[in-house]
């Protein structure tokens, strides 16, 4: 009886409770898991870009696109409220609700601005001195999501 036959016979004999040989799979796992654990990144870091006005750059951009009209959108962040000031639209101030800023209201107002001025991309954020960095970043996020990627900060 050669090897093939004997193996075949043995396999057929244990047909009811056939067991997989998992040794190879376990080996792969044991190699892969430590490797992936070592290279795993749990905290991903990103950056937000913010350009300060530069004399040379400002003149260059002004020459490039002189026809584009700039809408001055101001967003004030105060201790207890947001205030959006846009030419020709009057928005009510968004007071804090239960200690939290009214993010939904802000997004609604920004969407209205976008509807009124579809080409507008710029927004100037003007926080009070006591505003936390965390809040400023969140506001910048909302502005970017609402279609105002050119964010300036004014003190």
| Cβ-count burial 23-56 (b if 16+ within 10 Å, e if not) | eeeeeeeeeeeeeeeeeeeeeeeeeeeeeeeeee
Q: How far is the CB of 109 from other proteins (least distance, A)?
A: 19
The span from the CA of 13 to the CA of 32, in Å, is: 35
Query: CB under 8 A: which stretch of 60-68, 89-97, 114-122, 124-132 binds other proteins?
Result: 124-132
Instruction: Indicate which single residue of 43, 65, 69, 119 sits in contact with other proteins (rule: CB under 8 A).
Output: 43
Q: What angle do CA 127, 133, 138 make, to 5 degrees?
A: 85
Residue 127 binds to other proteins (criterion: CB under 8 A): yes
Q: Is 79 in the site for other proteins (CB under 8 A)?
A: no
Return d(Cα 98, Cα 95) in angstroms, integer.
10
Binding other proteins (rule: CB under 8 A), the pick from 45, 64, 90, 99 is 45
Torsion sign (Cα): 145, 146, 152, 155: negative
The residue range among 2-10, 22-30, 67-75, 91-99 that interacts with other proteins, by the rule CB under 8 A, is 22-30
Give how many residues touch other proteins by CB under 8 A.
43
Q: Which of 92, 95, 96, 141 contacts other proteins by CB under 8 A? A: 141
- Sheet with 94-95: strands ordered across: 94-95, 81-85, 74-77, 122-127, 150-153
User: In the complex, which residues of this chain contact other proteins (CB under 8 A)?
Assistant: 19, 22, 25-26, 29, 32-33, 36-37, 39-54, 57, 127-134, 136-138, 140-141, 144-145, 153, 155
């Amino acid at each position: 009886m050669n090897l093939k036959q004997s193996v075949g016979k043995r396999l057929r004999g244990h047909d009811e409770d056939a067991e997989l040989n998992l040794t190879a799979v376990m080996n792969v796992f044991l190699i892969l898991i430590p490797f992936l654990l070592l290279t795993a990144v749990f905290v991903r870091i990103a950056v937000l870009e913010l350009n300060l006005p530069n004399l040379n750059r400002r003149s260059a951009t002004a020459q490039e696109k002189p026809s584009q009209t700039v809408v001055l959108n101001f967003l004030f962040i105060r201790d207890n409220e947001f205030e959006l000031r846009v030419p020709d639209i009057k928005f009510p101030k968004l007071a804090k609700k239960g200690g939290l800023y009214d993010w939904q209201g802000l997004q609604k107002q920004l969407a209205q601005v976008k509807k009124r001025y579809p080409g507008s991309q710029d927004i100037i954020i003007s926080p009070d001195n006591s505003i936390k960095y965390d809040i400023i970043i969140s506001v910048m996020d909302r502005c970017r999501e609402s279609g105002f990627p050119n964010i300036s900060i004014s003190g």
